[in-house]
Chain A
Amino acid sequence: MRPFDYYKPKDFQEAIALLSQEGKKTFPVAGATDLIPMARDERWLPDIVVDIKALPGLRELKLIDEGLYVGAAMTMNEIAASPLVKSTWDVLAQGASSVGHNQVRNRATVGGNIATSSPAADTPPSLLVLEAIVVVRGPEGERRIPITEFFLGPRRNALKKGEIIVGLILPTPPEGAVGSYHRISRRHGADLAIVGVAVLAYPKAEGFGWRVALGAVAPTPIRVPQAEATLSAAPGKPDEAVISQAIQEAVAASRPIDDIRATAKYRREMIATLMRKAIEDVLEKL
């Protein structure tokens, strides 16, 4: 690993100043579970690493007017075990508990999981169906990025140099909403997702509203609006024909690739399998 400098600022001003330095590769770090392997392989070559765990608000998890605020440095295990998260935003707890393995989940943070912007990450599909808002602070102050606009490509996102993810706002979902995250990987223990599917549904005036998001099957995690519309248009619980159509639409919206973990073809098939399971799971709970 190439040497780098490390700072742990206590306030945003200092942190942003450190991260904004021109001519230096600067990395904010919380759990370091992405930074360390990437720096070891020299795929990332940081000059300066800024530990953001001591910044105000990053280790908070609390109810706010808009819903739930999750500090960026909350770990996967903290989120997965949080009664607050499990009460109303359980689909995120499901995603968080699927990440890596226990030791990693004790370090990896939700901010890091989205900042790394791996298409196969396990929390983004849940965050997408929860319509999370990413709270960011940088040289130009604070801004809020809807999660749907956050991911730009594999390992690319809307963050600008010097910006730090402070936390996520999870709006309170409509009354009665239930969600389900399903994934498939080569091995049960500690493996990257081949496909991840998050589904959220809630009762509305006529029938149910549906949100569906997919991971690992496109350059970024994606929502599939057409499939959602099809499901949501059903007068009551969607029947087999509606579900099949929605699945077809979701598969059509995906753009999976071939890699060592699976071919694009298998990924498409597994979108169908997992989406059906997730929908059935949600229907049972509705």
Chain B
Amino acid sequence: MSKKQQHTVDPVGKSVPRVDAFEKVTGEAKYVDDMFFGPDMYYGKLVLSPHAHAIIKKVDVSKALAYPGVKAVVTGEDTPYRIGLYMQDRYIFARDRVRYVGEPVAGVIAISEEIAEAAAKLVEVEYEVLEPLFDPYEAAQPGAPLIHPDMESYTWPPFIFPEPGTNVSEHFKLRRGNVSDEGVAQEVWDQCAAIVEQTFRLPPIQHVPIETHVAVALWELDGKVTLWSPSQSPFAQRDLIAQGMGISHGDLRVISPYVGGGFGGKAGVSIEANVVAMARAVKGHPVKVRMTREEEFTTTNVRQSLYAHTKIGCDAEGNLLAMETEYYFGGGGYNDYGVNIARAAGYSCTGPYRIPNVKGDSRSVYTNTPIGSAMRGFGMPEIHWGIEQIMDQLAEKIGMDPAEFRRKNAVRTGDTILTGMKMTPINLVACIDKAKELIGWDEEKKPSAPNKKRGVGIAIMWKAPAMPPNPGSSAIVRFNEDATVNVYVGGQEIGQGAFTVAAQMAAQALGVPFEWVRVSANPVDTKYSPYEWQTVASRITWSMGNAVKRAAEDARRQIIDIVAKYWDEDPEDLDIRDGVVISYKSEREQPLKKMVIYGLPNENYEGWQGGPIIGRGKFMPTYVTNLDPETGQGTRAVVHYTVGAQAVDLEVDTETGQIEIIKIASVYDVGKAINPDLIMTQIEGGAVHGMSSAFEGIFFDKDGRPINASLVDYKIATIQDIPKKVVGDYVETPLPDGPWGARGVGEHVMVQTAPAIANAIYNAIGIRVPDLPLSAEKIYTAIKEKEAKEKGE
């Protein structure tokens, strides 16, 4: 490389280059489908349900098995196991019934992918078609046909509250202030000068990672199992598959190289359990299954649909007084991950606002649609879509600037928030002010052509990592002879820069230059990597960061102790700077080279001390408490919140309804910017992802078959669709238990983009669109209706 040799001391807070970039620009970086498994490998193809809801009467695999080159066919008969991250509601292969179009019913294993594909068509499944349910609100009503009639036999963790006998897989209740189960007390509403009540709907959308799901599994003759998958959660995959299939955790090894785009879609278990089950049928042969782009839409997972009905009121001065909200998430055929999204939406149901009286009900509901699962923002983009549009309308009703309205009501550090928890340190007001400044909130903006109308909008957000109370992280720091350092982590590099940040933190805590650190985490390998719960929830910088910092501090302490003894000095007087142990007292220096492996001799070589330095560190939040199931109240609902503000400047073409985004300005409170430029890359990518999501949706025919499950008709933003400009900044209000005060910002950057756009559209043309997506046709039609109405009046 022609690059000059870099030497970066104290890298935390500096925009060092990504440690994974070199491999990725040379093509050396290997993804699962790039790996070579030798001539013994077989290929698998999943047989998918063509029906949204049906009883499986009979599965006949005889013709498929007889097809030349086919080695085995696996069906639900072979896999009587239920799996699921929270709600264990899903058979690996459907057994009694299918619950969405695209559900795996069987898996064909053959010597080539083509043969597997051809034979998969020969698997004969007899179905008795049942009435499907697509709308989460309707599916939640009493008397709706049951999608999971045996729900009470499932297992779930104590913080999930399903309602067996209905299609509701989770019901989170939030009751605060002067409220009852019927709602906020009328006397509170009577104090409101403005009330807005509205229904919002969001269709399911897909992550569209450019790498589709792929998995390779090998079940060896001695019972050891290896799974290769691009996973945000190799350890969770190991746990769920081991538990579900009765394999010892010690015998199941998950190897996960670079992930070609995650966004939540590669969290938890999707097709991986199917592939492990298929590998069991052909022991000794690796089996590879890869999703086509079309299958990625139907058979992996999606962001749930949402039906939201929300009513919020404020007094004449703009103080928010009351909120009632009902969220119905269309969780899909299985809600194994989705129940926790409804829960997160419940305990954060107000958005980042001070509202004294709140009645919230958040439900995930079984529907006969693809599995709803984690996606960047985890329920927050969905609920902020409505909340942020209502806030604008309230501000308008009382004649207040929408940014000022948000400043006034924005949650502040130390507030007792809706769950009764004390708000962790943040500065949302500063985010709003900076976003206003970056967008030029108070400047007059002229449209570029007579047929265009220009508008600005703002939206704010909050999000907490949504997870069990005690997800753990661990890390190991190991020195080499030349004092270079290998950092072992189990968190995954999904593009966000996790490995780079881990290297920065280790170097900073150790006192060595950044360039001395190597991150040994590709692939993440459950056999060798330290435990990490999952790379989700924007928790890695914070949680894994803490573990890395502690591991580095542990190693540092060991080194200092050895040198202190060697010099006969107080360890408190010693420090490690730029790879050298120094004494502030004696001003002596001891380079780390060699001594971190060989130790140091005693005087006159009368023996030695020290030895190879290995530091270990772990982190697990220990303070999250249960919430009351009837009120959602408790001491500490979540570990912390991250907040931010986004402002949008756009034009609407009134002749087509098309929207041209001129600028998006994003400001988030990151606690501490470990790598400022990586934050900017999240801000830019997130703004485009958020914008794109406002125009996306998966749509179904009357039988539940997706009609746009391909990139031909499911369009994500191309380089020609991006806003003219995305600008950003951050605020640093340190998080007390964050490494150097840091918290994550990977998801937040897209949470409120869609409502910020919606608010800007309203500002431009006076039209509110309560349902996503924001298609040009929808905007155009609304413009024409408004014109007709105005003419009529």
Contact between A and B in the complex (any CB pair below 8 Å): yes
Q: Which of B713, B721, B780 contacts A189 (CB 8 A)?
A: B721
**Using Cβ atoms and an 8 Å threshold, which residues of chain A touch B780?**
266, 269
Among candidates A101, A190, A260, A266, residue contacting B713 with C-beta atoms closer than 8 Å: A260
A191 and B655 in contact, given A186-B776, A266-B777, A269-B780 (Cβ under 8 angstroms): no
Q: Number of B interface residues, CB 8 Å?
A: 23
Contact A188 B721 (CB under 8 A): yes
The winner among A186, A192, A262 for most chain B CB atoms within 10 A is A186
Within 8 A of A (CB), among B692-736: 695, 699, 707-708, 712-713, 715, 717-721
Q: Which of B708, B717, B776 makes the CB contact (< 8 A) with A260?
A: B708
> CB of B243 within 8 A of chain A?
no
B695 contacts across to A, CB distance below 8 A = 186-187
A interface footprint on B762-793 (CB within 8 Å = 1, 0 otherwise): 00000000000001110011001000000000
Instruction: Check B715 against A187 for contact (C-beta < 8 Å).
Output: yes
Measured CA separation A273–B653 after assembly (Å):
11
Given contacts A260-B699, A273-B655, A273-B656, contact A266 B718 (CB under 8 A): no
A270 within 8 A of B: yes
Give the residue among B656, B707, B713 with the most A Cβ atoms within 10 A.
B656
Contact A263 B777 (CB under 8 A): yes
A189 contacts B719, C-beta separation under 8 Å: yes
A285 within 8 A of B: no
Taken together as a complex, chains A and B put the C-alpha atoms of A3 and B718 apart, in Å, by 33
How far is B780's CA from A69's CA once the two chains are assembled, in angstroms?
A: 41
Q: Which chain A residues border B719 with CB–CB below 8 Å?
A: 189
For B713, the closest partner residue in chain A by CB is A260
Task: Using known A-B contacts A186-B715, A189-B720, A190-B718, determine if residue A270 contacts B775 with beta carbons closer than 8 Å.
Answer: no
CB of B612 to closest CB in A, whole Å: 52
With a CB–CB cut-off of 8 A, which chain B residues contact A155?
Answer: none
A184 at interface, CB cutoff 8 A? yes
| Cα distance, A271 to B721, chains bound together (Å) | 23
Q: Which residues of A contact B118 (CB under 8 A)?
A: 2
Residues of B within 8 Å of A101, CB to CB, are 718
Which chain A residue has the least Cβ–Cβ distance from B708?
Answer: A260
With a cutoff of 8 Å between Cβ atoms, the chain B residues found around residue A144 in the complex are none
A261 CB contacts on chain B under 8 angstroms: 713
B656, B699, B708, B781: the one contacting A184 at CB < 8 Å is B656
B718 in contact with A270 (CB, 8 Å) = no
Q: B51 to nearest A CB, angstroms?
A: 20
Across-interface contacts of A191 in B (CB, < 8 A): 715
> Quick one: given A192-B712, A266-B781, are A187 and B655 in contact (CB under 8 Å)?
no
A187 CA / B707 CA spacing, docked (Å): 18
- Shortest B510–chain A CB gap in Å is 46
**Can you list, as one digit per residue, whether each of A250-286 has a CB less than 8 Å from chain B (1) or not (0)?**
0000000000111101100110010000000000000
Chain B residues with Cβ below 8 Å from A3 are: 114
A186 to B716, CA, bound (A): 10
Q: Mark A35-46, 1 if CB is under 8 A from B, else 0.
A: 000000000000
The docked-state distance in angstroms from the alpha carbon of A261 to that of B699 is 11
Residues of B within 8 A of A2 (CB): 118
- B residues apposed to A, CB below 8 Å: 114, 118, 655-656, 658, 695, 699, 707-708, 712-713, 715, 717-721, 775-777, 780-781, 784
Chain A residues in contact with chain B, CB under 8 A?
A: 1-3, 101, 184, 186-192, 260-263, 265-266, 269-270, 273
What are 25 A-to-B residue pairs whose CB atoms are below 8 Å?
A3-B114, A184-B656, A184-B658, A186-B695, A186-B775, A187-B695, A187-B717, A187-B718, A187-B720, A187-B721, A188-B718, A188-B721, A189-B717, A189-B721, A192-B712, A260-B699, A260-B707, A260-B713, A261-B713, A262-B777, A263-B777, A265-B781, A266-B781, A269-B780, A270-B656
